[in-house]
Each structure stands twice: as structure tokens, then as C-alpha cells.
Structure 1
Amino acid sequence: MKDKVILVEMLYEKAEQYTKTTFELYRLKTIDKVTDVFASVASRFAIVAVLALFFVLLTVGMALYIGEILGKNYYGFFTLALFYGVLALVLVKKRKPWLDDKLNNYLINEIFKEKKNASN
């Protein structure tokens, strides 16, 4: 009877240790995935920020050039503002299929990248 009690205690200790180890493993995997996704998003954000600065400077140059052609500098800024306003309307109308779906798919692919690689 004493052997059974010892076996049950050992079984209980092993189950407790397994549960703690499994929890720690899932915690570490979650941290790994979160940091991977954050690093990927942060690097893309940095690229987008540099590209935005490039396009802002390009737009100012284009506005000044168009203004010179039209005779007054502010005409060039008004022309480009109208262009960007129309572009914004198109993006608002097409946001779901062009931007939201692509961003969702990107994040899902980043989160489940390990499972996809493991199955191949």
C-alpha cells in the first residue's frame, strides 16, 4: 500500500512538473512570436517612414516645379493637393481589399510562419 502511495505521489509530482514545463514552453513560444511580429512590423514601419519622407520632399519639389510652370508657386501646391485628395478618396473606397486584407494576411502569416515551415 505504501508503494502505491509513493507511486501516486511521484505521478502527481511528474504531472505537476509537466504542467509547469508545458506552460513555460507556451509562454516562451508566445514571447518569441510577439517579438518576431513586432520586429517585422517595426522594420516595415521604418521603411515606410523613410519612403514617406522621400515622397514629401518629392511632392514639394513637384509642387514648386508645377507652380513655376503655372506662373505662381501656390498653384502647384493646389494642384498636388487636389491630386492627393482624389487619391485619398480612391484609397478610402478600396481600403478593404487593398490595405486591410493585405495587412491581415501579413500578420497571420507572421504569426503562423513556424507552423507553415514545420509542415513543409
Structure 2
Amino acid sequence: MEPNATTNENLNLYEKAENYTKTSLELLKLKTVCSVADVVSTLTSKIAVGVVVAFFTLFLNIGISLWVGKELGEYYYGFFIMALFYLIVAIVIHKTHHKLIKTPIGNTIISSILKEKQN
């Protein structure tokens, strides 16, 4: 009788291990989906805000360019001055993009992904 009892216990243990593995994989899938959804939704909302800010900035810059050009006597002077301003801003951003852009965005994405593992 004992060999049958051992066989039943081994079979039961095997089924429990199989169920545990399946459940663990399903949980991992769900956590991954949750993390990806959180990152994508955050990114989408930030892109939407960025588009609105870009339009605001575009129209503001056109207005400033026209105003500066009117004060200087020729409208194209205002556009040249604004272009020079943005060239300077681009150079500064290029020189400091790791500190100003890459590191904060990377940290935000990593902390967003890892916050599920901390809970």
C-alpha cells in the first residue's frame, strides 16, 4: 500500500507545483501589463500636454517676432532675433542634455516600472 500512497503524494505535489508555476507566470504577466500601461498612459498624457505647449509657444514666438520686427523697422529682423535666441537655447540644451533631459526621464521611467515591485 505504501508505494501507492507515495505515488499519490508525488502526483499531488507535482500538480501543486504546476499550479504554482502557472499562477506565478500569470501574476508576472499581469504586473508587466500594469507597468507598461502606466508608462504608456503617462507618456501619452505628457505628449498631449507637450503638443498644446508647442502650439502656445509657436504662436507666442510669432507674436514676439512680429513685435520685435515692428520695433526695429523690418519684420524679418524679429524672426532673425528669435531664431538666434533658439539657436543659443539649442546649444545649451545640447551641451547639458544628459543632466536636463536624459537622466530625469530615465529615472521617471525606471521608478514607474519598479513601483509595482515595491508594493
Q: TM-score when scaled to structure 2?
A: 0.94
Matches within 5 A, 1:1-120: 1-116=3-118, 118=119
Q: Take 1:69 and 1:80, find their aligned partners in 2: how far apart are those partners?
A: 14
Contact 2:31 2:116 in 1 (8 A): no
Q: AA paired with 1:82?
A: L
**Once superposed, which parts of structure 1, at least 4 consecutive aligned residues long, lie more than 6 Å away?**
none
Q: CA deviation at 1:113?
A: 2.1
Give the unaligned 5+ runs of structure 2.
none
Q: Take 1:105 and 1:71, find their aligned partners in 2: how far apart are those partners?
A: 48
What CA RMSD, in Å, does the superposition of the two structures yield over aligned residues? Answer: 1.0
Q: Take 1:19 and 1:115, find their aligned partners in 2: how far apart are those partners?
A: 19
Q: TM-score when scaled to structure 1?
A: 0.93
Size of the aligned set, in residue pairs, is 117
Rate the CA distance shift 1:19–1:115 in 2: closer, same or farther, 3 A: closer
Q: Which structure has more RCO (C-alpha within 8 Å, separation ≥ 6)?
A: 2
Q: Take 2:111 and 2:5, find their aligned partners in 1: how far apart are those partners?
A: 51
Give the unaligned 5+ runs of structure 1.
none
The percent identity for this pair of structures is 40
Q: Take 1:42 and 1:61, find their aligned partners in 2: how far apart are those partners?
A: 29
